[in-house]
Amino acid sequence: MELKVALCQFDMVWEDTAANLRTAGRMVAEADADLVILPEMFATGFVPDSCRIAQTMSGEIVQEMIRWSKTTGKAVAGGLVVEESGRYCNRLLFVKPSGEIAYCDKRHLYSINGEEADITPGRERVVVEYGGIRFLLQVCYDLRFPVWSRCRNDYDAIIYVASWPAGRRDVWRTLLRARAIENQAYVLGVNRTGDDPRLHYSGDSAVIGCKGETLAEAGEGETLLTARLDMDELRRFREKFPAWRDADDFDLK
């Protein structure tokens, strides 16, 4: 069993939702894939004052994602800031062609730039099944915290959507591989590229195999990165080298 994935790496126009939706919609349409993944806050850029760019789940960004998925027959995943009952969440949505939506909220907020002042941290660990593969949903800074993404025989691949700056690109590349190796899982890391008023982003989106090998990797610039996830290969590797049997038990509080 195989599933073809596409990672959409592009330079966002700062706080220009209409322009970014045009770019994202074009890339979703062009992608030769079953699942298309967009970066964190793909329609706005990573705006520190997140309340200003938040939308509801019935807003334009979510509605466009639903439309793209239905019209193309592809699942579409991507991030935005959502407002719900006066709370704001940095949310990763996974939209299926059927219209079904799964989502997770970023758990680890980037306190270094004050993200926790506006955003409510996620509390639920979310796994969504699509095309016979179970995906764990994670957002950017969550990548640094391995306990939250530890595989407990409940997923096959991790999706990380990010706005990860170029100054820490080696950390991004290293941690994607670490999460794949320690969890014996595919890792899909999609990052933005280009510049915002504060930072430069180098992209480096990647698909990492369950042994830590690079299946596809982007440099800088707009890239539509594709790869195939092979579930039979993953099962064979987990059976041949069942390191997961020796993992420590733990509880998340």
Catalytic amino acids?
40, 106, 140
Q: Residue 240 class from Cβ within 10 Å (0-12 exposed, 13-18 middle, 19+ buried)?
A: exposed
Query: CA end-to-end span of the chain, whole Å?
Result: 36
**178/221 Cα distance (integer angstroms):** 25
Question: What is the crossing angle of helices 60-72 and 17-30, to 10°?
Answer: 20
Does residue 105 contact residue 91 with C-beta atoms inside 8 Å?
yes
Helix (H) or strand (E) holding 239: helix 231-240
**101/62 Cα distance (integer angstroms):** 10
Least Cα distance to 150 among 162, 140, 141, 138 occurs for 138
- Dihedral of the CA atoms 137, 253, 89, 202 (nearest 10)? -50
Does residue 120 contact residue 105 with C-beta atoms inside 8 Å?
yes
